[in-house]
Amino acid sequence: MSAINQHPSCIDRAGELRVNQNTLDQLWEKAKIVHHAQGRIATSTTSLNFLTAQSVSEAIASGDFAEGSRYFLGLDIESRAPFFAWDTQWKKSFSDDESAEEEKSAGFSTLREMGTILSAQELELSLHATALSNWHQAHPRCPKCGGPTRVDLGGAARFCDADQSQHHPRTDSAVIVLIKDRADRILLGHQPVWPEGRFSTFAGFLEPGETFEQCVSREIFEESNITVSEIQYLGSQPWPFPASIMISFEAVTDNPEVARGDGEEITEVKWFSRAELKAAAADGSLLLPPGISVARKMIERWLGEPAQGGETWR
């Protein structure tokens, strides 16, 4: 079977261009710009709604949006056309919270909503823009001296003028695992924050001093009480919700009969054959993870075909 998410990048991130602000300013004037506002991205029903430098200036002048920040995302692999993200927030006032949500949703979508619809290039740009936005919003101050920091290197870093230190985004590594038994069934688990019937693969964050394989074994035992072997790497997926990368594996257990949830993170586990999974997904008793997620791709890779089963997040 094929690996997970092993397609080449659609964007040249062109890191060498980030060091020259004059170059970035020139690229901005001819760029296609991803509009990112408070967790939402400007979209149509099927694609991103790119802005130009002129339309960004008009949006700021109208008073609808704050000036925001510019992040250089890279160049088109073939045409060498530049892409940026404009990370901003709504500035105009709304009559109430409900009206605000309605207006902010008009012409904007979350990456989770649009992830399966966007082209490969647009998805890559959106993931990059969302990850940068999340990191910049969460790190306005220097971790060394506590002073304010500013966007640097076209969004790839922040700089503290007080102590002259530069700070770069960090990504949290997490493993996600498809567990199989010798009968080629898979084990899925239910988290208490999910709706009834929602099941997915098992995942957890890498701890300091731990290999990915050690993390797989530990997390699986902690959450399902089983031990695994034959750990095989499948692929990876950026997951900026808020700042992770999912490292996917499959593994085999020889003690499927002892599987049980830990009662906290996982409250129920179920074994599925292919026929059982397809039947439960078809009758609505099983809700699978959304199509954008690597968990869904891992399940469908094992299944050998697209699966039914919902797009719910919570």
Question: With 90 as the cut, is the pLDDT of residue 132 above it?
Answer: yes
- Residue 71 in any domain: the answer is yes
Distance CA 250, CA 208 (A): 22
Could you report the per-residue pLDDT of 30-40, keeping only the tens digit for each? 999 999 999 99
- The residue with tokens 């700042």 is 243
Contact (Cβ atoms closer than 8 angstroms) between residue 255 and residue 224:
no
- Residue 314 in any domain: the answer is no
158 and 111, same structural domain? no
Best CA proximity match to 207, nearest among 172, 166, 234? 172
156 and 46, same structural domain? no
- How would residue 310 be classed by pLDDT, with cut points 50, 70 and 90? low
69 and 33, same structural domain? yes
DSSP per residue over 211-267, as a string?
-HHHHHHHHHHHHHS---EEEEEEEEEEETTTTEEEEEEEEE-S-GGG----SSS--
Averaged pLDDT for residues 112-130: 93
Q: What is the pLDDT of residue 3?
A: 73
Contact (Cβ atoms closer than 8 angstroms) between residue 142 and residue 163:
yes
Q: What is the pLDDT of residue 95?
A: 61
Task: Give residue 231's identity as a one-letter amino acid code.
Answer: I
User: Which residue, of 130, 148, 170, is where some domain finishes?
Assistant: 170
Distance CA 126, CA 238 (A): 11
Domain harbouring 225, CATH code: 3.90.79.10
Question: With 70 as the cut, is the pLDDT of residue 192 above it?
Answer: yes
Question: With 80 as the cut, is the pLDDT of residue 100 above it?
Answer: no
Cα dihedral across residues 9, 13, 15, 17: positive or negative: positive
Q: What is the β-pairing status of strands 186-190 and 268-272?
A: antiparallel
Distance CA 56, CA 33 (A): 9
Contact (Cβ atoms closer than 8 angstroms) between residue 200 and residue 179:
no
Let me know how many helices (H) and strands (E) the chain has, helices first.
Answer: 8, 15
Lowest mean pLDDT among 104-113, 159-168, 169-178, 193-202: 104-113
Distance CA 182, CA 5 (A): 26
Q: Which domain holds residue 199?
A: 172-303
Averaged pLDDT for residues 151-165: 98
222 and 114, same structural domain? no
130 and 74, same structural domain? yes
112 and 58, same structural domain? yes
Averaged pLDDT for residues 225-252: 96
Could you report the per-residue pLDDT of 263-308, keeping only the tens digit for each? 999 999 999 999 999 999 999 999 999 989 999 999 999 999 999 8
Q: What is the pLDDT of residue 62?
A: 93
- pTM listed for this prediction: 0.91
Question: With 70 as the cut, is the pLDDT of residue 313 above it?
Answer: no
Domain count, the chain: 3
Question: With 70 as the cut, is the pLDDT of residue 117 above it?
Answer: yes
Mean pLDDT, the chain, as a whole number? 93
Q: What is the pLDDT of residue 189?
A: 98
Contact (Cβ atoms closer than 8 angstroms) between residue 226 and residue 259:
yes
298 and 182, same structural domain? yes
Distance CA 296, CA 290 (A): 6
